Structure 1
Amino acid sequence: MARTPVELPEALPGAFTVGTARATGVTRGRLRSADLAAPFHGIRSRAPVTDVRALVTAYLPKLRAGEHISHATAVALVGGWIPERLRAQVDVAAPRPLGRARGVGVRGHEAAAASLWRFGPVPIAHPAVAWCQSAELMDERELVIAADSLMRRHDPVLSIEQLRGAVAEWSGRRGVRALRLAYERCRERTDSVAETELRLDAEDLGMTTFEVNAVIRDEAGRFVAYGDLVDVGRRVLLEYDGQQHRLDDAQYGRRSGGGASRRGASGRGQAGGRRSVLADSSRVRSSTTRSERAR
């Protein structure tokens, strides 16, 4: 029968240093017990470290004065999207001349100064700055998706104006070209990463006139729904069909007054299937444009 681990002192927080635990009388053997996670050298956590927020919480006891959470980790901490490959490590920025943080599970960076911004008890880079810093770690498309997620329709943490100002201040620094290109393609009021990917795929096919989460109205001007991507002039709606979507084909055609086209791109088909649907939609738009010119 497995032995029940000895209770830890109540004074120890959820994540703590080995040194702090030893000072309260915890044995080295107890600190090696399977019920404690060891996400960083010299750190133990009472709970499993399964996401970015838990990772940051676990790192806090190691954070030196003046250091702050930065780059992709700061983006994720405030609810923004980051690529899966960047989630296993924590980005830590240290002001000169402190020296970069090092160790397994840490991406150390150099900062000109300490950050005065806080997310709860955690010192972090401002979200707009963190997004700019992430140009070191993400490509242009990933930067667009991250920006859209920070300017999301519900509970946004950034505005397009703040992003514009941050990019302007980044002039001459690493990654500024990618940031400028990404800024031109990012949009406010998105609802999901899937919607952003759908829009980017549409733009890559030359479909650049869609409005994000635009209001759809019937012929009497009454509200029908919000559409993921709406081309009002050509009466085309593109929607990402996840577990829930706003309108089915018949409903859209009926309530928008008829003569409208809806295209749904499903997550099940991944990028290839999504682009196939978009290519079909592009042909619909081209046909509509030719018809309008013929009138």
Structure 2
Amino acid sequence: MIAHPRDPLALRRASTLVLALIVLWPLLRLSKFHPAALFEAGNLKVAGSFLGHFLPPDASAEFLGLVAKATVETLAIATAGIALAFILAAPLATAMTRNLSVSRIGPGRGYRIRAVTRAGVRVVVLLLRGIPELVWALVFVRVLGLGPAAGVLALAITYGGMLAKVYTEILESSDARPAHALLGSGSPRLSALAYGLLPNAARELVSYTVYRWECAIRASVVMGFVGAGGLGQLMDQAMKMLDGGETATILVTFLLLVLLADALSAGLRKLLD
């Protein structure tokens, strides 16, 4: 009979699990998380009655036309917001990436100034991504009025900070030797980025950008509740009018939109393989 060797990391994994449970339990208590309440008879009756108001979905030609227009607007908000976020994130990530710093390959003039500059850019990126897009949407709705422009700018600012942070992490985790060789031979930073870092990091960068576009579609719907246009604004109007049929139609459209975004991102990832 063959004796199976004991997992040398079993004790460590068990200890980590126990520690996680010890930390998680008081957090669940503080958040008043009681999932059993969902299955109480009274609560199930209330939930069933509420969900019954959503049936049947509204399929009138007039409302479907409004939904189609709002769907196109939602896609436009998400796409334009991500495009502007990329334009904002690309130079910020280039400035923050230590693999593109000449001081990393040897002493040079102005390395202290460059270090301070990178720290300043990191603070800017922290401020951009630290404020939720919903807050920015509220600000821009007050400034620009109701409409998709507020949603585009809110996504551009918050997602610009997120993209810049993750782009920097991807570039810094890539093999830096080609970039350092180019910098050491006198190449400019953009050349070191294009020929030294991007060939190895391009797939991850594109994959994360597409993922953020999917998130932008979801976020644009949420921002519609504060007047930033798209499906969210249409849903807000339907819920205020207590029209469950219209709300159900918008929810189905939103689910189909998310599935479409997921299929497009999966296809693009296959092209990059």
> Which TM-score band (shorter chain)?
under 0.3
Q: Which has the higher contact order (CA 8 A, sep 6+)?
A: 2
Task: Report the structure, 1 or 2, having the larger helix content.
Answer: 2
TM norm structure 2: 0.21
